[in-house]
Amino acid sequence: MTRSASPALPIAYSQEVAAARARAAPLVALESTIITHGMPYPGNLDMARSVESIIRAEGAVPATIAVIDGVLHIGLETAQLEALAQTDGAMKLSRADLAFAIAERRTGATTVAATMIAAARAGIRVFATGGIGGVHRKAEETFDISADLEELSRTGVIVVCAGPKAILDIPKTLEVLETRGVPVVSYDSPVFPAFWSRDSGLPSPLMLNSPAAIANFQKTRDQLGVDGGMLIANPVPAESEIPREEMEIYITRALDNAERDEIAGKEVTPYLLDALFRLTDGRSLATNIALVENNARLAAEIAVALSE
Ligand code: PSU
Ligand code: MN
């Protein structure tokens, strides 16, 4: 790389993504924090691979996003994905530090917020994940509100998730999204889902029943000049869900442990996911994988509908 006064951003597209961009094929962005900080190896790699193949089967192209040695990758080659899934010290990148990792030539995984920034920059309009970050319980004391919510309000990407992780304060999370003008749409369900469970006990602000209707809603927002993102909440398939009452028992225990261990900041979400994995004997992980796969399918369908 030659150096000039203002070198271009180090950005690399995988072969598959570059080819898809050249023919304007529908693309679906995928985050990488779920790989490095959300699930243990090798389940994380199995999940990452299966999600990519589900997107291909629906006629779209997957673009897993990560920073590797200071290069922003839009789409990972097979060996890069395998290496990332086994990397230990990857940073967990959000809006605050995505550029830091690039500038300092570090390796880092992108959260929902950082993945949205990278996807928007690459012209990718749809993104599949598991659960977004949100307002943590006791946020009135800790001020812990995920940067994912702010990003949804400003960056024009459709994020398909299974609801906010139930470890969060879901009513407060919905309040913030409403305040920031983020449309929250449940897919084919009148109730708002809560990640491992299909029903959070709260009604959904909006509901749509088909990828075409979601694409049409987005096109209308574009016509109206309303920018920012949109959140699609896709309930986990019934056969994979852990009912809310049961999950709540484990969540209470995991939150108690987090408080005892004085976990704060970026550590909170990975700590709780790991604690739940152990408290549920791995069941929470199986559910997590099933819901990400389900979201990948819907995101691909939306990307295809948007391109029609
Ligand atoms: N959903 C998962 N596993 C995860 C995450 C979401 O099933 O690991 C990650 C996402 O990257 C999300 C992040 O953006 O957790 C939120 O972290 P925080 O609460 O620190 O903002
Ligand atoms: Mn936080």
To test the pocket of ligand 1, the residue of 112, 149, 236 to mutate (highest count of ligand atoms within 8 Å of its CB) is 112
Q: For residue 288, which atom of ligand 1 is closest to its CA?
A: 7
Let me know if 31 is a catalytic residue. Answer: yes
Ligand 1 proximity of 235 Cβ (cutoff 6 Å): no
Ligand 2 geometric centre to CA of 145 (Å): 5
pLDDT at 4: 55
Ligand 1 geometric centre to CA of 13 (Å): 24
Ligand nearest to the CA of residue 132, numbered in listed order: 1
Ligand 1 proximity of 36 Cβ (cutoff 6 Å): no
- Cα–Cα distance, 49 to 126 (Å, whole number): 18
Domains of the chain, first to last: 11-307 (3.40.1790.10)
Cβ atoms of 303 and 232 within 8 Å: the answer is no
Ligand 1 proximity of 111 Cβ (cutoff 6 Å): yes
Q: Which two tokens stand for residue 85?
A: 């899934």
Terminal alpha carbon distance of the chain: 39
Q: For residue 147, which atom of ligand 1 is closest to its CA?
A: 21
Per-residue pLDDT of the chain (308 residues; tens, 9 = 90+): 445 566 899 999 999 999 999 999 999 999 999 999 999 999 999 999 999 999 999 999 999 999 999 999 999 999 999 999 999 999 999 999 999 999 999 999 999 999 999 999 999 999 999 999 999 999 999 999 999 999 999 999 999 999 988 899 999 999 999 999 999 999 999 999 999 999 999 999 999 999 999 999 999 999 999 999 999 999 999 999 999 999 999 999 999 999 999 999 999 999 999 999 999 999 999 999 999 999 999 999 999 999 99
Cβ atoms of 214 and 234 within 8 Å: the answer is no
pLDDT at 219: 98
pLDDT at 185: 98
3-state SS, residue 185: strand
* Beta strand ranges found along the chain (DSSP E): 11-13, 27-30, 61-68, 71-74, 91-93, 108-110, 126-128, 158-161, 184-187, 206-208, 230-233
Ligand 1 proximity of 266 Cβ (cutoff 6 Å): yes
pLDDT at 166: 87
Identify any residues that bridge with 216 across adjacent strands, giving them in sequence order.
Answer: none
CA distances from 100 to 4, 96, 123, 131 (A): 19, 8, 22, 25
Q: For residue 146, which atom of ligand 1 is closest to its CA?
A: 21
- Beta strand 230-233 pairing with 184-187: parallel
Let me know if 52 is a catalytic residue. Answer: no
pLDDT at 1: 47
